[in-house]
Amino acid sequence: MAIDNRKEARGERLRYSFEFFPPKSEDMSDQLWKTVEDLLPWSPDFVSVTYGAGGTTREPTLSTVRRLIAETPLRTAAHLTCVGATKEEVHRVVEEFRAVGVRHFVALRGDPQGGIGNRYEPHPGGYANAAELVAGLRELGDFEISVSAYPEKHPESPDDAADIDMLKRKVDNGACRALTQFFFDNDVYERYLERVRAAGISIPIVPGIMPIQNLTQLKRFASMCGASIPSFLDERFAGLDDQPRARAAVAAEVAAEQIEDLVRRGISDFHIYSMNRSALTIATLANLGLQPNAISSKGAAA
């Protein structure tokens, strides 16, 4: 069972956002919009939609963002990368998103075009990194700009100091919030936050929470992006490979316990990686003692 200290996780001061990715098929589209419908009553602070390296999902991302803004009351942020694009191409994308109502961007460098593990090469006519992209966005308009942060260091950063220096450059150029890579050891996050604050960075460093859909798949993904998987997770999920209901219950407990512990450490904002599935996110929020609101598709809470 999740630790019985739910009062700290209740109330208006706990805020959360959800992340979606654009669907690649009709079935995935149906799943995404069912997830949006399911999560809508939980009144997130905002939702974000990812964007592929080199703009590989630009059209699906734009379509998804357009529909979210047109058909729901959700404050919607569009991810934006600068991989494989000139500055002019990035600016055209920004204007496309602005035209459908986007006022919040999650500005990222993006993965190398060849995929994680390949060498990143800046486009000769483009933005070299996320800090430059933030500066470009700030020149284009008064946008809300979120960026990424890495409690266990970006895998391409030579060391922790260089990693935090890049975050500071993003903040100095106009970022107002950082969303972290997922992690499962809250001590790692707390030590990272101490280093960030010591560097003079004062924006919210919002923990990225990943409810575990499949531990084996998560381990493979984590190995590519530099995130560690603590041994206690193997212990919690031991013997549950063929018990999907029990496995889902444990996953929701683990995520809720992590959030509860972070709340006790003074954190009030969380970014939940939904993976376009609603069940685990809802179970996690319910374990925290939270309740959904009655909301219409394009209205406010009833």
Return the domain boundaries, the chain: 10-287
pLDDT score, position 167: 98
What pLDDT is stored for residue 170 in this prediction?
A: 98
Q: Is the pLDDT of residue 98 over 90?
A: yes
Tokens of 233: 């997770």
219: which 2 tokens? 């381990």
Q: What is the mean pLDDT of the chain?
A: 90
- pLDDT per position as a tens digit, 56-84: 678 999 999 999 999 999 999 999 998 88
CATH 3.20.20.220 fits 10-287, yes or no: yes
Q: Determine phi and psi for 111, rounding to 5 degrees.
A: -70, 155
> Which one-letter amino acid corresponds to residue 58?
R
DSSP 8-class letter at 54:
G
Strand locations in 231-299 (E): 269-273
pLDDT digits (tens, 9 = 90+) for 183-234: 999 999 999 999 999 999 999 999 999 999 999 999 999 988 889 999 999 9
pLDDT interval class at 54 (50, 70, 90) = low
Give catalytic residues, as residue numbers: 19
Write down the pTM of the prediction.
0.91
Contact 50, 20 (CB under 8 A): yes
Whether 1 has a pLDDT exceeding 50, the answer reads no
Do the Cβ atoms of 181 and 226 come closer than 8 Å?
Answer: yes
Q: Is the pLDDT of residue 10 over 70?
A: no
Q: Please, what is the Cα angle at 168 between 162 and 172, to 5 degrees?
A: 145
The mean pLDDT value for 40-64 works out to 87
Per-residue pLDDT at 295? 53
pLDDT at 117 exceeding the cut of 80: no
Task: DSSP for 261-277, please give it.
Answer: HHHHTT--EEEEE-TT-
CA atoms of 300 and 11, how far apart (whole Å): 19
Report the pLDDT value the prediction gives residue 96, as an integer from 0 to 100: 96
Cα 287 from chain centre? 21
Maximum CA pair distance of the chain? Answer: 54
What pLDDT, on a 0 to 100 scale, did the predictor assign at position 8? 41
d(CA 19, CA 31): 14
- Output the pLDDT for position 102: 98
Residue range 124-151, pLDDT digits in tens:
888 999 999 999 999 999 999 999 999 9
Predicted local confidence at residue 111, as pLDDT: 65
Average pLDDT (99-128) is 79
Tens digit of pLDDT for each residue in 228-269? 999 999 999 999 999 999 999 999 999 999 999 999 999 999
